[in-house]
C-alpha cells in the first residue's frame, strides 16, 4: 500500500531516481491512490479466460482510495440528484496501467546501470495500445482482466458466487 494520497512524482530506490509520468494515463493522474501492484503474476484460477496482451512494458493495477458515502434516507431522489451526476454510475475502484521505464536523456546501458535519471511513463491500455520508442512502433502489454479480478478478490465476490451455487437458500444479497 502507498503511504500517500496521490502517486508520488519521484520514486527513489537503490540509488536511482524514477520520475513518474502519468500524461498517458489521465484517469489515474489525480485520483487518491491506495494500491499499486503488479498484475503480471496474479493468479486468476477462477476465470475461464484472462484478457491480456503481450507487448512492451510492465502490467500494474492502480487502486483508487474509497470514501464512505452515506446519504441516509433521501425523500426525493429526483430533486436530490437534479444537479449531480447519475448516482448509479461510479468511478472504477481499480485501473490497469502499463509502465515503461526509459532514461530521461540519451544514455548507454552502463550509464543507466550507474544511476542515470529514469522516467517511468504510465499508459492507460484502454486509451493507447501502441508506443514509439526510438522511432519504432511497439504494442503495449496490458492485462484487462486484472482490475476485475482484484475487485472480485477484495470484496470476496467470487466466494459469494460459489456459495450461492452451493446453498441457494442462503440470502447473500
Question: What mean pLDDT is predicted for residues 5-21?
Answer: 79
Nearest to 146 by CA among 5, 36, 33: 36
- For 39, the 3-state DSSP assignment is coil
Residue bearing the bigger pLDDT, 46 or 125: 125
- On the question of pLDDT at 172 being above 50, the answer is no
β-sheet with 33-38: strand ranges across: 10-13, 16-24, 118-123, 94-103, 58-64, 33-38
Residue bearing the bigger pLDDT, 50 or 38: 38
Cβ contact 90:96 at 8 Å: no
- What does the pLDDT look like over 51-77, one tens digit per residue? 789 999 999 999 888 877 776 788 888
- On the question of pLDDT at 130 being above 90, the answer is yes
Amino acid at each position: 500500500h502507498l503511504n500517500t494520497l496521490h502517486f508520488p512524482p519521484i520514486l527513489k530506490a537503490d540509488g536511482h531516481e524514477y520520475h513518474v509520468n502519468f500524461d498517458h494515463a489521465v484517469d489515474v493522474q489525480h485520483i487518491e491512490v491506495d494500491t499499486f501492484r503488479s498484475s503480471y503474476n496474479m493468479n486468476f484460477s477462477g476465470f475461464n479466460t484472462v484478457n491480456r496482451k503481450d507487448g512492451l512494458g510492465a502490467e500494474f493495477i492502480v487502486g483508487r482510495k474509497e470514501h464512505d458515502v452515506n446519504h441516509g434516507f433521501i425523500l426525493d431522489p429526483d430533486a436530490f440528484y437534479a444537479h449531480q451526476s447519475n448516482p448509479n454510475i461510479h468511478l472504477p475502484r481499480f485501473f490497469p496501467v502499463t509502465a515503461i521505464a526509459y532514461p530521461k536523456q540519451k544514455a548507454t546501458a552502463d550509464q543507466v546501470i550507474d544511476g542515470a535519471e529514469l522516467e517511468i511513463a504510465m499508459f492507460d491500455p484502454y486509451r493507447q495500445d501502441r508506443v514509439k520508442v526510438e522511432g519504432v512502433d511497439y504494442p503495449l502489454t496490458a492485462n484487462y482482466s486484472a482490475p476485475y479480478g482484484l475487485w472480485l478478490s477484495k470484496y470476496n465476490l467470487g466466494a459469494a458466487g460459489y456459495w450461492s451455487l452451493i446453498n441457494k437458500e442462503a440470502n447473500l444479497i
